[in-house]
Structure 1
């Protein structure tokens, strides 16, 4: 059964590289995992469907965040930012990529809309990217950095949820650790992501890329023009709604409550008329529905791997080969984490699974609580960059592919895997050795 994880992840990866739709690729991987583990095709399908409910709250939060993002866009406040970028950063490729990474970082800890801002902010900038000959793979890596690095290193917003998930999962396995120590343990893996961003921005994608140049007519037909906008009272109320959503999300630790608060405040403050409610929700579903459904399918895949015992078998077979060499143990655990999270595509969802397997092995090998937190946090984060099923790759693609000139696998997943998973793996291993 240990092979079920490896073979199914390879099937998903190969199908994705062959440009098969990501939903079909994940379904094929899930059914393959069930068959390899000895289940019938019908039982494998039932396990997949039964597990989809495990991410129902996440899918709902994405839909609501999409509606909140549409409401924010309706206010016109995003036009102010886009126009500023168009005016100030034209022909400044490196600075543009760094600014995009910075703006994306705000979506995790300050303005908790996660990936919902991307389909609103990025499409109006596509024409500018083409005029600058900006490599969209660089934009994808900048966006993914902002969607991952903040929650790995900063215990606020999504980061607080991630760190609490690690804390609770380790506590359930008998190892107590404070949030502050978890944050310190993940600084070194986070530094690996910063290094990856700098390599992408200053070396890999710094040069101009002219493959996107098409006729001016085609650009005009596919890219939405951005109207001029001045800061008004409705924009101030929009910022109040954003602050309210952030406050409720931090207070409750629940994305659904945070997003609902933001939406309600946008209507209460009359930033969005009540008559446009159906339109806002419908557009939010249209924006985030595909991503939400991919996350549901990925949860079903995770359930197949877990219920068939495939993940346990993989860890047990791995631990039986590595003896008491701490360096080798850390390497194998991270490799197992990479395989598991690449298939599932959710760092938050796989942390409890990984912790239940990593903690007993790590304690027996003599790893400190901070070293274990570094291993678990890094292993979980490895699934968010490069996985076809991750929201940290699906989000950037949703914006960059608005005009049909960006491929999810080759232009988002492969670049983010190379620039982030490799340094995350290396720096996470170092953290486990020194902490």
Structure 2
């Protein structure tokens, strides 16, 4: 039973590397986990489908955030940002990647649209990337950094949800801690992501690279979205008001759906977007974010199979049972187990409640402090997210970079982000567990 997680995640990884569609890969991996646990194919599928509802909140959030992002782009305010980037950063590849990482970081804490900004901001820049021979793997790494590092280290916006999840998971299992303490605990693991980003930008992907037509599975004709000159006006000011309103509601109620819905309502109430455009805005939002939302649903079903069959519990028990009181070895094993589980489930937010119930008793028995335990849980939850085929942190960048069919999800997004973020996260997470 303890090998079910390992084998099923290997199936998911191998199929993805062989360029099999990520949804098909997740379904096959879930069925594999079910069969190895003694279920038949039909029972495995039913268990997967039953578990899909656990990410319904996330899926609906993404659809509404997509619609909100479309409404924002309708005003032309994103064209101002794109034009600025083109004007200031043309010919400056390193600064371009750093700027993209910075803009992406704002999507987690300041402008709460999460990954929904990527399909709007990145496609207009693809022609510039090609002209400058920018390595798109570097762009994917910069985007994923911005989608992960802020919430890992900063307890605001999406980060508040992440850190509160750690607090709730630990408190429910007998280890009281505050969000302020989890933020301090996650600074060391988060700094590992900063190191990974700098290595990717200044070393790994610094050289010129030609994008390959059809690399992403299609060679459809692509016309870059218009970036005509736009001057700041009243609509843009009201758009900023709507963004602030969405952020305020999200923070106040810790609910993405309420925040996105507030932003949408304000966009129409303030007549920033004409009411008659409502159907089109929603349709475009669904078209933009629907596939990602569905992947998250299927990934949740896979996670349900792993947890309901007891595979995750068995893996933790068998790996912790022979470690004794060797804190150094316990820390690295728990992080690697978190890597396996999170790559399969594809959501650090969804993984933490699962692993907290298993990790807290082990950590307390081994003599880890509450902050060291928080660092282990938070890092184990985040460590597989960047390189997972089913993670929003990888699906988001691909949705923008593959608009012209020249960027492969696995080889150009997942593999680079796995190397540059998951390896440093494991190393720095282990250091945090040892020194806190």
TM-score range, shorter chain: over 0.9
1:226 is matched with 227
Deviations 1:10-61 (Å, cap 9, x if unpaired)?
0000000000000000000001001101111111111100000000000000
Structure 2, unmatched stretches of 5+, are none
Tell whether the 8 Å contact from 2:166 to 2:377 is kept in structure 1 after alignment.
yes
Distance in 1 (alpha carbons) for counterparts of 2:334 and 2:222: 49
Aligned match of 1:433: 434
For the pair 1:320 / 2:317, whether they are aligned, the reply is no
Partner in structure 2 of residue 44 of structure 1: 44
Determine whether 1:377 maps to 2:378. yes
Aligned-partner Cα distance in 2 for 1:38–1:344: 20
Q: Aligned equivalents of 2:320 and 2:429: distance in 1?
A: 19
Structure 1 segments, 4+ long, off by >4 Å, are 218-221
Q: Given that residues 163 and 179 in structure 2 are in contact (C-alpha distance below 8 angstroms), is that contact kept between their aligned partners in structure 1? A: yes
Q: Distance in 1 between matches of 2:10 and 2:418?
A: 15
2:146 is aligned to 146
Root-mean-square deviation (Å): 1.2
Query: 3-state DSSP class of the match of 2:322?
Result: helix
Distance 2:265 2:211 in 1: 43
Aligned residue runs from structure 1 range 27-106, under 5 A = 27-106=27-106
Aligned to 1:120: 120
Q: Deviations for 1:180-204, whole angstroms, at most 9, x for unmatched residues?
A: 1100000000000000000000000
Structure 1: distance between partners of 2:221 and 2:122: 15
Count residues with an aligned counterpart.
432
Q: Deviations over 1:253-298 (max 9, x none)?
A: 0000000000000001111100000000000000000000000000
TM-score normalised to the size of structure 1?
0.98
Gap runs ≥5 in structure 1? none
Distance 2:323 2:336 in 1: 13
Determine if the alignment matches structure 1 residue 368 to structure 2 residue 365. no
Alignment partners' CA distance in 2, 1:234 and 1:318: 57
Q: Name the residue aligned to 2:281.
A: 280
CA distance in 2 between partners of 1:362 and 1:12 (Å): 29
Paired residue secondary structure (2:102):
helix
Cα contact 2:222–2:403 (8 A) shared by 1 = no
What displacement does 1:210 show? 2.2
Confirm or deny: 8 A CA contact 2:242 2:267 kept in the other structure: yes
* Alpha-carbon contact 1:69-1:284 (below 8 Å) kept: yes
- Contact preservation (8 Å) 2:33, 2:306: yes
1:2 paired residue number: 2
Asked if residue 297 in structure 1 is aligned to residue 303 in structure 2, the reply is: no
TM-score (normalised: structure 2): 0.98
